[in-house]
Amino acid sequence: MNLSEAILHVAKLAEGQTVTEEETTRFRQWFLLEASEEELQELASAHEAVLMEVQEPVYNNKEIVNNIYSRLTAYCQAEVSAMEESNRQEAIVRKIRKRNYWWAAAASLLIAGGASIWIFRPVQHNPVAIVQSTELEPGGNKAILTLANGQQIVLDNLAKGNIPVQGGVTITKADSGAIAYIGTGDNVQYHTLSTPRGGQFQLTLPDGSKVWLNSASSIRYPTAFTGTERKVEMTGEGYFEVAPDAAKPFTVKAGKIDVHVLGTGFNIMAYADENAIRTTLVSGSVKVQTGNAATVLTPGVQASLAPNEQAFKTSRPDLAEVLAWKNGQFRFNRTGIKNIMRQVERWYDVDVSYEGNVDNIEFQGILSRKVNAKALLETLEATGEVHFRIEGDHISVIPGAKK
């Protein structure tokens, strides 16, 4: 499915027209996995145009369909042109806020009570239950580098350029904020890169391997890989693109598991507050091991290990959802509210509590990680399945719509 087909699909649904199961499946796949942010904005604008300009079913002949489609196309083009003239960050925020109505109207973010619901119709909802004006800004590139002697360097405040450290090691910081090792010195030392809640960072290791760290994560590594292996330790979540070197296998230790690779791309999530350590392979081949249990993964497969288990469970997750954090997105695919709020805690550096049973509340949809927490919560709340109370940096989650 392409954008034009998606616009017609949404318009037909908004007008109560019958669509086939195949069309719905194709639209759902496009919406969740293939559509770009720009295409989603156009789709949102098109849906609003339908609701504003067409008040009753009129899809009774081809001429009317074509006329409406022409109006939608012109409307979308005008919206995109206006966005291109705006500041990029403002455009992103406006895009998400504008889409709030679309998500509520189309129920594309609504999978509640464990049942998948795809209803494309206008709905009315009350203002969101935000009791203070705080925006709770999103995270960004923030990290602390701890050297072998205990010295700490706050990287987010550091200007670009070379960072000479002890032992002749030289690190450079790029325009993007990422750091890389360009001189390893004579003596091997161990450094630790840590991101706080509300932080993320990119690192190029001394062997050229690249690491993306999610919020509340850390990686410990040597300033030079000597001997017959390359080994690092991590907590939290990270994505690795390992530089190939058959003579020196690469190993990541995360909690009680070891991930052995030669050259590949994979994601590890090993947060202490999650119910399992999860390794997801994107490309290449890895072996995950704990004690005497081991399994070899192929691309698209995830191995998970719960705290009290001795063997791995494998599955095929939604890769777009697994890697959403690295690509600047929140992606929910029948995702429980508690899972979502753990992501909110880490990215916005807030604390969360629950008032009532929210175990069966799930959501589906996509949002940018560049919006503030208020915009994200407004979108979730518009479904009527949950509402929130914000007090400083604390968020209370309450089932049901605001009364």
The DSSP code sequence of 174-234 is -TTS-EEEEEE-SS--EEEEEE-TTEEEEEE-TTS-EEEE-SSEEEEEESS--TT-EEEEE
Residue 38, token pair as written in the block? 């720009």
* Residues 220, 233 within the same domain: no
| The domain boundary residue, chosen from 317, 352, 367 | 317
- Judge if 304 and 335 occupy the same domain: no
Same domain, 142 and 221: yes
Domain range spanning residue 391? 328-399
Same domain, 80 and 32: yes
Q: Do 213 and 252 fall into the same domain?
A: no
CATH code assigned at 253? 2.60.120.1440
Q: What is the pLDDT of residue 21?
A: 73
> What CATH number does residue 369 fall under?
3.55.50.30
Q: Domain for residue 375, yes or no?
A: yes
Determine, yes or no, domain membership for 297. yes
357 in the same domain as 305: no
- Residue 5 CA to residue 8 CA, distance in Å, equals 5
322 within some domain = no
- Asked if residue 347 is part of any domain, the answer here is yes
- 176 in the same domain as 237: no
pLDDT computed for residue 100 by the predictor: 36
User: Is 39 a member of any domain?
Assistant: yes
Give me the residue label for tokens 């339908």: 50
Q: How many domains does the chain have?
A: 4
Q: Is residue 101 in a domain?
A: no
Q: Can you give the pLDDT at residue 23? A: 77
pLDDT attached to residue 339? 95
> Quick one: 242 and 293 in the same domain?
yes
Residue 251 host element (H or E): strand 250-254
Residues 308 and 249 in one domain: yes
| Secondary element (H or E) of residue 322 | helix 319-322
Whether 249 and 204 map to the same domain: the answer is no
Q: Output the tens digit of pLDDT for each of the chain's 403 residues.
A: 777 777 777 666 655 667 777 777 677 666 656 666 567 666 665 554 544 444 443 334 444 444 444 444 444 444 444 444 443 333 333 333 333 333 333 333 322 222 222 222 222 333 333 333 356 899 999 999 999 889 999 998 788 888 877 777 889 998 888 999 887 766 888 999 999 999 999 999 999 999 999 999 999 999 999 888 999 999 999 999 999 998 899 999 999 999 999 778 999 999 999 999 999 999 999 999 999 999 999 999 999 999 889 899 999 998 989 999 998 989 888 899 999 999 999 999 999 999 999 999 988 888 889 888 988 898 888 888 899 999 999 999 999 987 7
Say what the pTM is: 0.69
